[in-house]
Amino acid sequence: MGNWSQAEEECQKYGSGSHLASLSNSKEARVVAKYILGYQRNLPVWIGLHDPQKTQLWQWIDGSIDLYSPWNYKTKSGANYCAALNPKD
């Protein structure tokens, strides 16, 4: 899975404005999880949610505050607190 920063850098290689996914509601989360399951089923994948200041103020990569928060797979990755989506959940 690599770390969150590596995943974000890989996304940015796809062009200007490309980032890890930001998921604002359960419908978006289900669509992304279904897509991921089409490729792999065992590993969680990084999403664009992080807490760069480690203040429990989680925000998306675009700077918006996390208002949809069912995430139970938050983890430390390097210097940041980051979130991953487990497609099996």
Q: What is the pLDDT of residues 39-69, one digit of tens each?
A: 887 888 889 998 888 887 888 998 888 777 6
Beta bridge partners of residue 76, listed in sequence order: 81
Going by the DSSP 8-state scheme, the letter that residue 65 receives in this structure is B
Which structure tokens are listed for 67? 């208002």
Token look-up 């959940």 returns 89
Report the pLDDT value the prediction gives residue 10, as an integer from 0 to 100.
93
Residue 88 dihedral angles phi and psi, to the nearest 5°:
-85, -15
Domains of the chain: 4-85 (3.10.100.10)
Which structure tokens are listed for 56? 């429990």
Mean pLDDT of the chain: 81
Report the pLDDT value the prediction gives residue 80, as an integer from 0 to 100.
57
- At position 50, the amino acid (one-letter code) is H
Confirm if 29 and 70 have CB atoms less than 8 A apart. Answer: yes
Helix, coil or strand: residue 29: helix
In the structure, what pLDDT confidence band is assigned to residue 11 with cuts at 50, 70 and 90?
A: very high
